[in-house]
Amino acid sequence: MMMARLAFVAAMAIALALPHSSRAAEDAPACTAPGALTPDLFGWSMLGFRTAATAPAGLAAAHVSVGEAVLARLAPGASVTYARTPEKPGEPGGFGGMVQIAVPRAATYRVVLGTHAWLDLVSARGGAVVSVAHAKGPACTGIRKMVDFALTPGTYTLQIVGSPRADAQVMVIALP
């Protein structure tokens, strides 16, 4: 039973490193080997699992710690009641959800996402947090986008909107 579970986890890790849609295949170079992760992104390869919240009441069960990488199971976008109306609506037939993040200290934090989706960060007061930088992830790592936010200590809601996939690999790291 344990070997079957390990084989499943290994298969998921390999599958996440490969392009998953025609759009990803167009945007990403052909990968013949896994890309190199910088030390701050090392946790990207060690996944936990979460079910993303579909309404604000479910956020406590969808908590992601800073430095933790998770594969978040998303729901059909039409079934998600976001904490704040997303800045961009999702594509019809897309998937979405929310995870909660507790920020322990003032710093710039990077949200790392493994799918082509829109993301919004919402403060505990319900306001949108404006990003300070955007980048694509390192080639052949499964990282599709990285978005930086200057944050103060507190709890935030990360909204994932319009994913073409029913799951999304997510990680939040503090930048030096």
The SS3 call for residue 22 is helix
Domain span at residue 25 reads 2-174
Q: Please, which residues bridge with residue 121 across strands? A: 129, 158
> In the prediction, which pLDDT does 92 show?
84
At 84-99, the pLDDT tens digits run 999 998 778 899 999 9
Q: Provide the whole-model pTM.
A: 0.81
CATH of the domain at 27: 2.60.120.380
Closest CA to 175 of 113, 81, 108: 108
Residue 77, pLDDT score = 95
Q: How many domains does the chain have?
A: 1
